[in-house]
Structure 1
Amino acid sequence: MGKQFSAMIPAHIEFIAQQQMFFVATAAATGRVNTSPKGMDSFRVLNQHQVLWLNFTGSGNETAAHVSQDPRMTIMFCAFEGKPVILRLYGKAQAIHRADQGWKEHIGLFPNLDGARQLYLLDIDMVQSSCGMAVPFFDYVAPREELSKWALKQGDDGIQKYWAKKNQHSLDGVETNILARSKIAD
């Protein structure tokens, strides 16, 4: 049976710290709903009402487009080992791009990883836990290194070119503001 909370409790924060991946869901008022798996060392709990995650360069940029039109976001964690648990964080998110004031304030919370694209700050208005008894067991082996290696090989100029080609619009044609708000400083 699911339980709802107005904020994260210590048990939720401890559960999050043990997870190797999470899922992010966003949607604009119309068009496609997006769900993306996330990994790497990219998630921070700021307090019981706020979390921050670092988004890396990918083949699309749906989250940025959706949040620019509708800030609703759901983040889901699920246990692949141990006790069956699903934890969802619901709230309103804001994208923080490299040229935004909040970038310098928050980027230091993460290791320096090539390919960093945006930060997302989620103000949580509801937390829901549920059993997750149908989620299968999986063994964690190691993080994937391909994205970091690719981004390092591209360099800042190559990443900017990739963003220009692949990350400026969502699948539904919504602007992501990636170039206007993410000029990489020398």
Structure 2
Amino acid sequence: MAKEFTGIDDKLRRFIAEQPMFFVATAPSQGGRINLSPKGYRDTFAVLDDHTVAYLDLFGSGVETIAHLRDNGRITIMFCSFTRTSKILRLQGTGRVVRPDDAEFAALRGHFGTDHPGVRAIIVVHCERIADSCGFSVPYLEFVDERAVLDTHHARKTDADFTRRISGDNATSIDALPGLDADHPVPTRDPVA
């Protein structure tokens, strides 16, 4: 049976911290495609307070989440336990994009662990609904390790490579919604830990 929570309490914080991945879902206001993205690296997600969470948004092959948040702000984050204790947790709310050149970026960045090359932004979400469900049909899987592939890939990129991404596949969503602005900063050259 699903349970709704008034906030992200200590028990939910522990559950979130134990999950090696999470999923992000957004959709445009009118028509278009729904986006659902898996996110890895445990140290890229942070609970800021009982109703606010954030995650590091790393450069990817598209810009759907940012474009949809610019369009309407709606976002759902889902955590799913793959251990013997089955559970799904959904954080539904309103998100916003914090660029690396925004004043609050540095303070938010301190909530995350290891530096990751290719940080495009921080997504901050005010959770309006926090609810779990059983997850009884979710398979039991064993976590082996995180993949360093994305960090390794980004570490090899130059500022010019990221600039091309900003004006290329990250400029608009697949439904032609605005994504990154032309003046979006390239990521800092953080080392891979």
Q: What interval of TM-score do these two structures reach, taking the shorter chain for normalisation?
A: over 0.9
Partner in structure 2 of residue 33 of structure 1: 34
Alignment of 1:116-131 (within 5 A): 116-131=119-134
Question: For 1:179 and 1:185, how far apart are their aligned partners in 2?
Answer: 17
Q: Is 1:17 the equivalent of 2:20?
A: no
Question: For 2:161 and 2:26, how far apart are their aligned partners in 1?
Answer: 28
Instruction: For structure 2, list consecutive stretches of 5 or more residues without a partner in the other structure.
Output: none
Name the Cα RMSD after superposition: 1.6
Instruction: For structure 1, list consecutive stretches of 5 or more residues without a partner in the other structure.
Output: none
Given the alignment, which residue of 46, 49, 69 partners 1:47? 49
Partner in structure 2 of residue 70 of structure 1: 72
> Kindly tell me: are residues 178 and 136 of structure 1, through their superposed partners in 2, closer, same or farther at Cα, counting changes over 3 Å?
farther
**Bigger proportion of residues as helix:** 1
How many angstroms does 1:158 deviate by?
1.8
The answer to whether the 8 A contact 1:97-1:178 is kept is no
How many angstroms does 1:183 deviate by?
5.0
> Kindly tell me: are residues 138 and 179 of structure 1, through their superposed partners in 2, closer, same or farther at Cα, counting changes over 3 Å?
farther
Q: How many residue pairs get matched?
A: 186
> Kindly tell me: are residues 38 and 184 of structure 1, through their superposed partners in 2, closer, same or farther at Cα, counting changes over 3 Å?
closer
Partner in structure 2 of residue 169 of structure 1: 172
User: Cα deviations across residues 15-41 of structure 1 (Å, max 9, x unaligned)?
Assistant: 001000000011111211111000112
User: Cα deviations across residues 93-151 of structure 1 (Å, max 9, x unaligned)?
Assistant: 11111122221221122221101111011111110111000000111111111111111
User: Cα deviations across residues 9-62 of structure 1 (Å, max 9, x unaligned)?
Assistant: 221111001000000011111211111000112100111111010011110010
TM-score for the superposition, normalised by structure 2? 0.91
The answer to whether the 8 A contact 1:6-1:125 is kept is no
Runs of 4+ in 1 over 6 A off after TM superposition: none
TM-score for the superposition, normalised by structure 1? 0.94
How many angstroms does 1:178 deviate by?
4.2
How many angstroms does 1:6 deviate by?
2.6
Question: For 1:144 and 1:62, how far apart are their aligned partners in 2?
Answer: 22
